[in-house]
Amino acid sequence: MILREFVLPFTTGIAIFLFGMQVMRIGFENLFLNHIQKWLSRLTKNTWTGLLTGTITTAILQSSSAVTLLTIAFTNARLLTFKQGLGIVLGANIGTTLTTELLAFRLDKWSIYLFVAGVLLFLLPQAKLRSAGLAIGGFALLFIGMNTMQSITPLIKETGIIEALFSSNEQSLMMGISVGTIITALIQSSTATIAIAMNLINDQLITISIAIAIVLGSNIGTCGTALIGCIGANRASKQIALSHVLLNVGGVLLFYFFIPLLSSAVVWMTPVVTQQVAHAQTLFNVVCSLLILPFISHFEKLVLYLLPSSKKNKH
């Protein structure tokens, strides 16, 4: 029963969701990647323009991890300096919120129509239309995957696993952060983790505070991609990866104490629980990126102190 009613629907839903993310990203890459590579190398003269470039690029590619890996690759090729790459990483954290904001609208009833439209466009001979079909079809798969995952709700309610996991008020927030971190590290997608949190809160299995804790944890879990991407790269690329880790972990440590305030803020903004989760992620990422900007030179010194540039790799 566990295999049929829990494991299969959940893993199938996750697989569909992650496949949709990949298909959507491939579509957007085919449409915009050449332009994005030019933007990354040319429009990052200072941290502010880097932040704007990172935000727009991630909003288009729908993956902060992809943009962070691109930044590491460009820094490794010495097309970007560490300081320029730092601005892009800050912007990537903001741009990634677009996907979850769109998911929060729960366009479930339109998902099949979007998927069919995507398939029809993909069958056309024009390359641009085929790429647009991939992007639209991939986006539709996100909702199909979320719906598939949601089918496990009756079993979760019956077993009481969520109540047991978050039974202690004192430890539930730390547990939420841990769950968000572990799931994101395993499936390499903070968006999928947040989609799971949206499903849980939509089914009234968790509170908004715990959902926010899972969102915060997903920001820590996504650091694994950057750390893996810098293996074998030069020192500046490793500094970019370290910056990503420090920004996300530091932001979570700061916001942990303000989870009740953030919960009240998003509840005030909208009564729709899935949108509350999305708004919480947006507020967290935007505030963290903007807070660090006035102190960016000090942050740069901290990273260089923790991971000094070797003479060979200095720009």
Residue 285's closest CA among 261, 253, 252? 252
What is d(CA 74, CA 86) in angstroms, rounded to the nearest whole number? Answer: 12
Question: HSE (CB half, 13 Å, CA atoms) of 35?
Answer: 11
Q: What is the model's pLDDT at position 315? A: 45
Arithmetic mean of pLDDT, 134-160: 83
Q: What is the model's pLDDT at position 96? A: 84
Q: What is the model's pLDDT at position 277? A: 95
Contacts of residue 166, Cβ cutoff 8 Å, sequence gap at least 6: 172, 175, 176, 206, 210
Q: What is the model's pLDDT at position 238? A: 84
Convert the pLDDT of each residue in 113-128 to its tens digit.
Answer: 999 999 999 999 899 9
Q: What is the model's pLDDT at position 208? A: 93
| pTM score, whole prediction | 0.85
Q: What is the model's pLDDT at position 52? A: 84
Residue 91's closest CA among 300, 288, 292, 289? 289
- Using 50, 70 and 90 to split pLDDT, how confident is the model at 190? confident
Contacts of residue 181, Cβ cutoff 8 Å, sequence gap at least 6: 217, 218, 220, 221
Arithmetic mean of pLDDT, 188-193: 85
Mean pLDDT taken over the chain: 84
